[in-house]
Chain A
Amino acid sequence: AQSVTQLGSHVSVSEGALVLLRCNYSSSVPPYLFWYVQYPNQGLQLLLKYTTGATLVKGINGFEAEFKKSETSFHLTKPSAHMSDAAEYFCAVRARGGNTGKLIFGQGTTLQVKP
């Protein structure tokens, strides 16, 4: 069965500092990988996704993530945090093949950005 683990339920950085949010997955076959962001009292918005091809993927708002098969990881980074990045971040996986589109989410990481 697939699972997703996000290390650190709460990450705090200073404005301008590097953001690193960790995500590891467990799957017999590398799945499709996603990062979603949830701003307060809003729905989820896709930041980026990895399906195939280049393992470093760039998303919106300056975020990027790198798929590392050997480490079963898909960590999210941003070189310089902005106050507006404060939100909840979810890593998710979806099995390749299949026909349900079922997303399995990690438990989320709250990003706090300090001035």
Chain B
Amino acid sequence: DTAVSQTPKYLVTQMGNDKSIKCEQNLGHDTMYWYKQDSKKFLKIMFSYNNKELIINETVPNRFSPKSPDKAHLNLHINSLELGDSAVYFCASSQRLAPIENEQFFGPGTRLTVL
């Protein structure tokens, strides 16, 4: 009964390929996020969706395209992969309807290595 799950856990691919990472949450949350953690462990938000609507779109190359088919899923598709895309990508979810900030629950991460 994993709360936030990501697949795959590891992804090794060649430059120029297109790949997707999937995220699912079973917490009933209405908001989901993608974060990138670089080699120095710095975490930065990339995207956020609330009820399938994009609400955060940080300065991210348009090779990255999030897709939210429903509230429980937020996938990340990456076109034309580059060496600099190598990182750990974390999905997270939270419930925004409460008046006070609710905890973001994080998935286990997907380690992407671009060769």
Contact = CB atoms under 8 A, between A and B. Distances in A.
Interface of A: 32, 36, 38, 41-46, 49, 51-52, 88, 90, 94, 99-105, 107-108
A107 B41 contact: yes
A104 B92 CA distance: 14
A51 B96 CA distance: 14
B96 A101 contact: yes
A60 to B, nearest CB: 12
A100 B56 contact: yes
Given A32-B101, A51-B101, A102 B4 contact: no
A105 B31 contact: no
Given A101-B33, A102-B48, A105-B42, A46 B96 contact: no
A100 B48 contact: yes
Interface in B16-50: 31, 33, 40-45, 48, 50
